[in-house]
Amino acid sequence: MHIEFEIIEKFFSKKKIKAYKGIGDDAALLKKDDNNLWAISTDTLNEKVHFETTTDAYKIGWKAMAVNVSDILAMGASPMFALLAIAMPKPNNNWLKQFSKGFFDCCKEFNIELIGGDTSRGPLSINVTVLGDVNKNSVLLRSNAKIEDDIWVTGDLGLAALGLKIIKKKIEAPNVITKKSINALEEPKLNQFSIDKIKSFCNSAIDISDGFVADLSHILKASKVGASINFKDIPIDKWIKKTGHEDLALYGGDDYQTILTASKKMRSKIEKLIHKNNLNISRVGIITKDKKLRISDNGKEIKLKKGFTHFEKK
């Protein structure tokens, strides 16, 4: 949910003077103390855009928090505090009760304290701001991928996008897949444990909200590098692969998994950690000097769609 901020950015080009790092990553960075930074992220979910009118309020509450936590984790940071701003047409206590349950369950999961907020009347919309902290030497910037870095991806891709297709009745799937993919869409589970285990060996990271291709492109653009990806290594759900819907994993978005890059020298350490902790992390390719994104399947290059923004999404 970041690329579109360019439409605001283009109307100003102020120098960042006081901030450690401003616009252009998963979260902004401010000095916290001599050794640590605040990572701050804000994201909004709107009815009929980011969730359906029929979506369970519990899941909306969970996801409103989770999408921000995902940004904070992708900075290598640990979430700490949140602010919540809700707009709704009129107070609905039943809805709010369920929403709050999901929201606070997610807060609890990631040890986050709600410190403030705002409610207003308006079309249903939930904005969350999360603050986390990160050691300034451990921060994972999009702009820090190095040539020959391995590219790692957490979890499985494409399920959330499949869930949306199923809800929109554009794809039919078996019950188990239907349930799993709608859950992935509506109640994303984040891989904090996996990220925390390997992040100290990594150079850069981004969370996958716009889709694997689009978000990897953000790293490549910010780091002024390219990437060579082995299609077979991309962690795509089996049913999605079997039915030929791999585009959902490449372009689908809403996965809230994380792409990380790390020096080849760290490969054996990371592999040991994956093995020891049974982490679902895949090595999918390498960063290249040539500033292009190439995805190859059995030596044959796959033609890529242009990365999309949320505005182009529907």
Q: Which residues form the interface with a second copy (CB under 8 A)? A: 1-2, 4-5, 7-8, 11-12, 14, 16-19, 21-23, 27-28, 30, 33, 40-50, 80-81, 83-87, 90-91, 93, 96-97, 100-101, 104, 113-123, 125, 127, 129, 131, 310-311, 313-314
Residue 178 Cβ vs a second copy, minimum distance, rounded to whole Å: 26
Q: Which is nearer to a second copy, 2 or 245 (CB)?
A: 2
Q: Which is nearer to a second copy, 72 or 293 (CB)?
A: 72
Question: What is the spatial distance between Cα 233 and Cα 259, in angstroms, rounded to a whole number?
Answer: 13
Residue 131 Cβ vs a second copy, minimum distance, rounded to whole Å: 8
Q: Which two tokens stand for residue 93?
A: 């206590």
Q: Give alpha helix (H) positions in the chain.
A: 6-9, 57-73, 93-109, 159-167, 175-186, 192-198, 212-223, 238-242, 247-251, 267-277, 310-313
Residue 110 Cβ vs a second copy, minimum distance, rounded to whole Å: 13
Q: Which is nearer to a second copy, 116 or 290 (CB)?
A: 116
8 Å CB contact between 272 and 176 = no
Question: What is the spatial distance between Cα 82 and Cα 118, in angstroms, rounded to a whole number?
Answer: 12
Question: What is the spatial distance between Cα 5 and Cα 12, in angstroms, rounded to a whole number?
Answer: 12
Q: Which is nearer to a second copy, 118 or 148 (CB)?
A: 118
Residue 291 Cβ vs a second copy, minimum distance, rounded to whole Å: 26
Residue 186 Cβ vs a second copy, minimum distance, rounded to whole Å: 17
Q: Which is nearer to a second copy, 78 or 282 (CB)?
A: 78
Residue 55 Cβ vs a second copy, minimum distance, rounded to whole Å: 14
Q: Which stretch of DSSP H or E encloses residue 227?
A: strand 226-230
The neighbouring-strand residues paired with 39 are 29, 132
8 Å CB contact between 31 and 133 = no
Question: What is the spatial distance between Cα 80 and Cα 111, in angstroms, rounded to a whole number?
Answer: 7
Q: Which is nearer to a second copy, 164 or 286 (CB)?
A: 164
Question: What is the spatial distance between Cα 256 and Cα 69, in angstroms, rounded to a whole number?
Answer: 9
